[in-house]
Amino acid sequence: MIYTVPPGAHLITQVNTQLVGAAAMSGLFMATSCSGGPCVSVYTDPTTNQIVITANQNTPGTVAAPPKPKRTSAPVVRKPVVHTTVAKPKPSTWIPYALRPTPKYTYRPAVKKVVHKTSVVAAVTTAAVNLSDEITKLLPGNHLLYQPVSDPLAGVPVYFWSDAGSIFNIATSILGIGVNVVLQPSFAWDFGDGTTMTTSNPGGAYPNKSVTHTYASSGNYTASLTISWAGTWASQGSVLPVLGGAIVQNMSSQITVAPGPTNYTG
């Protein structure tokens, strides 16, 4: 499973220390969860700017038992009948033909010979199978928004916010194993006049005052926002940190501030 970061985002190699520290204190700091099933890993890839969720499983090969030997019978071999004749005695005197002894014949019984042949069948072996899976999904949007959109006034608050949201949560199944990923953002604002703010709140349009800034004078300013995503993932009874570093999204916007009133009360 691969979560792709929108264009303009990049990775830093420092993991959110609070999340990693909490995982280490709980004894759950590990990169892979197996628990007798497919091994699942969640980490960031600095070369592709992605969150990678993988699952791999090796299915051992099996050996089929050979079948029982089959016996086959060879054809019956019959020996030829042997005739034996009693030899005629040599008469000392001539005997008439009618008085000559009758020859005697004896028969030898046929012998059946059975030959058993055994068929040998080799065992059948199936090779091991390697299973793996990956899925892709975009992270939330990364736009810097402010209000009023046109002609903000000096001395009057400007409302800022991001459409990224305050949490990213995805639940999915990979190779039959449930995986739940939770990422939380940190918003670092730079309003372009030397004023900065860091918060976990994405801000909002009027009347949400969680992220506002008042420019003291008119002019052109470049407001920028850096969002750092880090968090944990859960699978097979384990809660683990997403390793590899936080994912960082950068965005900016040009703001032209017009001269404002001398006195303003909000």
Between the two ends of the chain, the Cα-to-Cα distance in Å is 48
Beta strand pairing call for 238-241 and 84-85: unpaired
Q: pTM for this one? A: 0.60
Name residue, tokens 């001539």: 94
User: Is 205 contained in some domain?
Assistant: yes
pLDDT given at position 21: 44
pLDDT given at position 41: 84
User: Is 77 contained in some domain?
Assistant: no
User: Residue 203 in 3-state DSSP?
Assistant: strand
- Give yes or no for a contact between 253 and 190, defined as CB atoms under 8 angstroms apart: no
Backbone phi, psi, residue 131, to 5°: -115, 140
pLDDT given at position 218: 94
Quote the CA–CA distance of 19 and 23 in Å, as a whole number: 6
Cis peptide before 75 (omega within 30 of 0): no
Q: What is the secondary structure of 24-91 as a DSSP string?
A: HHTT---SEE-TTS-EEEEEEETTTTEEEEEEEEEE---EEPPPPPPEEEPPPPPPPPPPEEPPPP--
User: Is 265 contained in some domain?
Assistant: no
pLDDT given at position 193: 96
Quote the CA–CA distance of 127 and 35 in Å, as a whole number: 24
Quote the number of domains for the chain: 1
**In order along the chain (266 residues), what is the average pLDDT of each group of 10 residues?**
48 40 40 70 71 74 58 63 58 60 65 61 52 66 88 93 88 86 93 96 93 95 93 89 85 93 65
User: Is 193 contained in some domain?
Assistant: yes
pLDDT given at position 243: 84
Task: Identify the domain containing residue 181 by its residue range.
Answer: 2-58+131-257
Residue 205 belongs to domain with CATH number: 2.60.40.10
User: Is 97 contained in some domain?
Assistant: no
Q: How many CB atoms lie within 10 A of CB 155?
A: 16
User: Is 107 contained in some domain?
Assistant: no
pLDDT given at position 177: 86
**The 3-state secondary structure of 238-254, one letter per residue:** EEEECECCCEEEEEEEE
pLDDT given at position 247: 83
Q: List CB contacts of 46: < 8 A, sequence separation 6 or more.
A: 11, 13, 244, 245
User: Is 217 contained in some domain?
Assistant: yes
User: Is 80 contained in some domain?
Assistant: no
